[in-house]
Amino acid sequence: MAYQTIVVDIEDDVALIRLNRPDALNAINSKVVEELTEALGAAEGNDKVRAVVLTGSEKAFAAGADIKEMSEKSFVDVFTSDMFGPLNEAFLRFRKPVIAAVSGYALGGGCELALMCDFIIAADNAKFGQPEINLGVVAGIGGTQRLTRIVGKSKAMDMHLTGRFMDAAEAERSGVASRVVPLAKLMPEAMGVARKIAEKSQVAVMTVKEAVNRSYETTLREGLLFERRVFHALFATEDQKEGMQAFLEKREPQFRDK
């Protein structure tokens, strides 16, 4: 499938989705929303894809929603078109693991896009920020909610109210990024991690996503009950038998997603 604003390559069970609007630092316009949504749908339905890596360029993962496209819009325009809603929904629906490989700017909608992914691997030149306040608006694709849950109220308020950027070290320290690597190692690291995850039982992988994400949606008691139930349920899979047997036989497991 030929896209205009993204490039998709599938290799070794991993779909690499690269944002490709270099002239606008990968700003997210309606075409990006449409194409990313489509690409995630295609990846969900493709058995050859067991994990996804989402990335941008060295200079920018994405510098935000497209300010040029938004600048003339009215309340009614943005309300009725719900410009970014489909992207949020596409990520919430997507059941395979998605890693954001972030280098350079991840600002506004770009930071929010990275936060929609399951985890973020950042290059040491990464800069995260929610500078919407400088445009007279607020984050609109999850930044006030997802960032706050990750870094807590104080730092989230600081980021959103001042519009300041967070460097890679602060991002790792505060839980935004799971790991930071030198820029040159970003893509090998992200692709390597994705391939490692692709080797696991996909039933267990999807269950991890459901269970961890459930912790954002419910009480501790309900979450623990959910976890206990899915833990029990996995004992109905052949992969549980294979995984434990392989450990006992001191060999690598051969998972079959069954």
Q: Which amino acid is at 138?
A: V
109: annotated active-site residue: yes
Q: Which residue lies nearer to ligand CAA by CB, 33 or 205?
A: 33
Task: Tell me the per-residue interface mask from 23 to 62 with ligand CAA, x by CB under 6 A, - otherwise.
Answer: -xx-x-----------------------------------
Interacting stretch for ligand CAA, rule CB under 6 A, among 22-30, 145-153, 196-204, 230-238? 22-30
Pick from 63, 117, 122, 151 the residue near ligand CAA by CB under 6 A.
63
Query: Pick the catalytic residue: 39, 65, 156, 190?
Result: 65
Q: Which 3-state string (H, E, C) describes the chain? A: CCCCCEEEEEECCEEEEEECCHHHCCCECHHHHHHHHHHHHHHHHCCCCCEEEEECCCCEEECCECHHHHCCCCHHHHHHHCCCHHHHHHHHHCCCCEEEEECCEEECHHHHHHHHCCEEEEECCCEEECHHHHHCCCCCCCHHHHHHHHHCHHHHHHHHHHCCEEEHHHHHHCCCCCEEECHHHHHHHHHHHHHHHHCCCHHHHHHHHHHHHHCCCCCHHHHHHHHHHHHHHHHHCHHHHHHHHHHHCCCCCCCCCC
Distance CA 143, CA 119 (A): 15
Q: Which residue lies nearer to ligand CAA by CB, 69 or 257?
A: 69
204: annotated active-site residue: no
Distance CA 114, CA 107 (A): 9
Site for ligand CAA, residues 118 to 177, rule: CB under 6 A: 131-132, 135, 139-141, 143
User: Shortest approach of ligand CAA to residue 83 CB, angstroms?
Assistant: 8
Pick from 42, 67, 204, 211 the residue near ligand CAA by CB under 6 A.
67
User: Shortest approach of ligand CAA to residue 28 CB, angstroms?
Assistant: 7
114: annotated active-site residue: no
Pick from 37, 99, 108, 198 the residue near ligand CAA by CB under 6 A.
108
DSSP β-bridge partners for residue 165 = 129
Nearest to residue 24, comparing CAs of 147, 87, 107?
107
65: annotated active-site residue: yes
**Residue 75 contacts ligand CAA per CB under 6 A:** no
Query: Pick the catalytic residue: 43, 90, 132, 177?
Result: 132
User: Shortest approach of ligand CAA to residue 124 CB, angstroms?
Assistant: 17
Q: Which residue lies nearer to ligand CAA by CB, 23 or 249?
A: 23
Q: Which residues bind to ligand CAA, rule: CB under 6 A? A: 24-25, 27, 63-68, 84, 105, 107-109, 112, 131-132, 135, 139-141, 143
Tell me which residues are annotated as active site. Answer: 65, 109, 112, 132
